[in-house]
Amino acid sequence: MSATIHNPARAERVPTSLNPVKYIILIIVTTLIMGTSFPVGKIGLSYAPPFLLMGLRYILAGGLMALALRKQRLPRGWRAWGRIVLIGLFQSAGVMGCAYYSMNWISSGESAIITFTNPLIVIVLSALLYNLRYRLSQWIGVIVGFVGILFTFGWHMSFTPGTWIGFGGAISFAVSTLLIKRWGNGYDTFVLTAYQMLAGGVALLLLSLWTEQPHFTVTTVSIISLLYLTLICSILQFSLWFYLLQHSDPAQTSSYLFLAPFFGVLSSWVLLGEEVQWFVGAGGVLIGVGIYLVNRRSAKKKQDVSPTVTSL
């Protein structure tokens, strides 16, 4: 099974098949969970190295979901499983592996900023690979949203090896977003979520054995952190995210990822006691404006033009 995307005109806004209220609620819940994963992960890194922590997270999450889905019909054929593995390498191993490894050089806030440049990369890749044409206001919206993220974190950016590693995670995020949109409808959402996490988890554990001195310090805090990352930030978050990507335009949905680092700042304030400055509010306003510009309908064109997806 493969898919080709043809767009005869302009990518105004691909309509979502979800109820608008339900769509917004799911977006807010998903990005809130994504935001909390950074301070919780920072806590967890005090007890285990990054690749090991993420590998344990995804092995546990994928294993629990696979166990619950043991009676579910599974994909057949090497191609179907190969696509799941590829998604897992980009989505689970690539994104969070790079994000957490980058924290050896940069702060969790900087890592979040870089990781969530994903919406801009999605639009660029969609334009290059699928010949989609986006309005100028959509491009401006993505840039405004990214500036909002910079405001949120006080413009404290640096260029170190961690910067480029984090950017690799953002590219992985964009690639996995497009792969899920291209192939995701051929899979049960929960099956895809479970087995891509297992694939990513195995890759991360192998990386840990190769590059780290694996250790996990068992305490109440470390166990709670791992369970939160496993149950909430993995099983629940991925299930919601894949569901949203399967029922909406990936560029539109990805634009809301600008909310995740904003929620990350707020959750860091709650969980870690980090001070929240005035520029966080300014950044939140810019993020909202950016999301509005990316997703608003053209006043002169009420009829949306949607890509035609053909399964072969």
CA distance 195 to 114: 27
Report yes or no: 85 and 197 within 8 Å, Cβ to Cβ. no
Judged against a pLDDT cut of 60, whether residue 311 lies above it is answered with: no
Classify each residue of 83-95 as buried b or exposed e, where b means 16 or more C-beta atoms within 10 Å of its C-beta: bbbbbbbbbbbbb
Residues 6+ apart with CB under 8 A from 40: 225, 228, 229, 233, 267, 271
- Give the separation between CA 118 and CA 285, rounded to whole angstroms: 19
pLDDT number for residue 292: 75
Please tell me the least confidently modeled range out of 13-22, 33-42, 69-78.
13-22
Averaged pLDDT for residues 240-266? 80
Q: What is the CA radius of gyration of the chain?
A: 19
Degrees, nearest 5: CA angle 255-257-259: 110
- Phi/psi for 189 (5° steps) reads -55, -45
Mean pLDDT of the residues in the chain: 80
How confident is the model at residue 12, as a pLDDT?
42
- CB atoms inside a 10 Å sphere around CB 140: 14
Q: What is the mean pLDDT of residues 58-87?
A: 91
pLDDT value for 158: 59
For residues 245-273, average pLDDT: 79
Higher pLDDT residue, 113 or 96?
96
Q: Which residues contact 52 (CB under 8 A, 6 or more apart)?
A: 204, 205, 208, 212, 214, 215, 216
Q: How many whole angstroms separate alpha carbon 28 and alpha carbon 36?
A: 12
User: Across the strands, what pairs with 5?
Assistant: 309
Q: Dihedrals φ, ψ of 301, to 5°?
A: -140, 95
Which structure tokens are listed for 308? 């035609």
| Counts of helices then strands in the chain (DSSP H, E) | 14, 2
Is-contact 53 41, C-beta < 8 A?
yes
User: What would the mean pLDDT of 269-298 be, rounded to a whole number?
Assistant: 72
Q: What is the pLDDT of residue 297?
A: 57
Residue range 147-168: average pLDDT? Answer: 74
> In the predicted model, is pLDDT for residue 67 greater than 90?
yes
> Which amino acid, residue 99?
A
Higher-confidence position of 157 and 165: 165
CB of 95 closer than 8 Å to CB of 115: yes
Asked if pLDDT for residue 27 goes beyond 90, the answer is yes
The beta-carbon contacts of 297-301 under 8 Å, at least 24 apart in sequence, are 297/12, 297/13, 298/12, 298/135, 301/12
In this structure, what token pair is assigned to residue 243? 């569901």
Q: Which amino acid is at 82?
A: G
Average pLDDT estimate for 289-296: 75
Report the Cα 237 to chain-centroid distance in Å.
9
The residues spanned by each domain of the chain are 3-311
Regarding predicted confidence, which is higher, 16 or 110? 110
Q: What is the mean pLDDT of residues 105-115?
A: 76
pTM: 0.75
